[in-house]
Amino acid sequence: MKEADTIDPLAAIGCLDDADIQLDIAALELAAADRIRPDLSGPLDFLDSLAARLPAATAGSAARGAALASLIAGKEGFTGDSADYDAPRNADFLSVLDRRRGLPIALSILYVATARRLGWPAQVLALPGHVLVAIGGEADTALIDPFALGSAIDESRFAALAAAAVGRSHALRPHHAVRLDNRETLVRLVMNQASRARQAGESARALTLYRRLTLIAPAMPALWWERARLEQISGDIAAARRSLAAMRETTRDPALEDRIRAAFEALTR
Q: Tell me the pLDDT of the chain averaged across its residues.
A: 90
- Whether 99 and 83 have beta carbons less than 8 Å apart is answered as no
pLDDT digits (tens, 9 = 90+) for 94-106: 999 999 999 999 9
Q: What is the CATH number of domain 8-180?
A: 3.10.620
Mean pLDDT, residues 225-237 taken together: 94
pLDDT digits (tens, 9 = 90+) for 28-78: 999 999 999 999 999 999 999 999 999 988 889 999 999 999 999 999 999
- Whether 113 and 24 have beta carbons less than 8 Å apart is answered as yes
Q: Which residues of 178-216 are buried (b: 16+ CB within 10 A; e: fewer)?
A: eebebbbbbbbbbbbbbebbbeeeeeebbbbbbbbbbbb
First to last CA, the chain: 44
pLDDT at residue number 9: 94
CB-side neighbour CA atoms (13 Å) of 108: 28
**In angstroms, rounded to a whole number, what is the distance separating the alpha carbons of residues 4 and 133?**
39
Burial level of 220, CB count in 10 A (0-12/13-18/19+)? middle
Q: Label residue 154 by pLDDT band (50, 70, 90).
A: confident
CA dist list (Å): 72 to 37, 53, 64, 102, 161: 28, 10, 12, 13, 22
pLDDT at residue number 140: 85
**In angstroms, rounded to a whole number, what is the distance separating the alpha carbons of residues 64 and 74?**
14
- Name 133's bridge partners: 124, 144
**In angstroms, rounded to a whole number, what is the distance separating the alpha carbons of residues 87 and 120?**
31
- Whether 223 and 252 have beta carbons less than 8 Å apart is answered as no
Tell me the torsion sign for CA atoms 87, 220, 227, 113: positive
Mean pLDDT, residues 237-250 taken together: 91
CATH 3.10.620 location in the chain: 8-180
Neighbours of 240 (CB within 10 A): 22
Number of helices (H) and strands (E) in the chain: give both, helices first. Answer: 12, 7
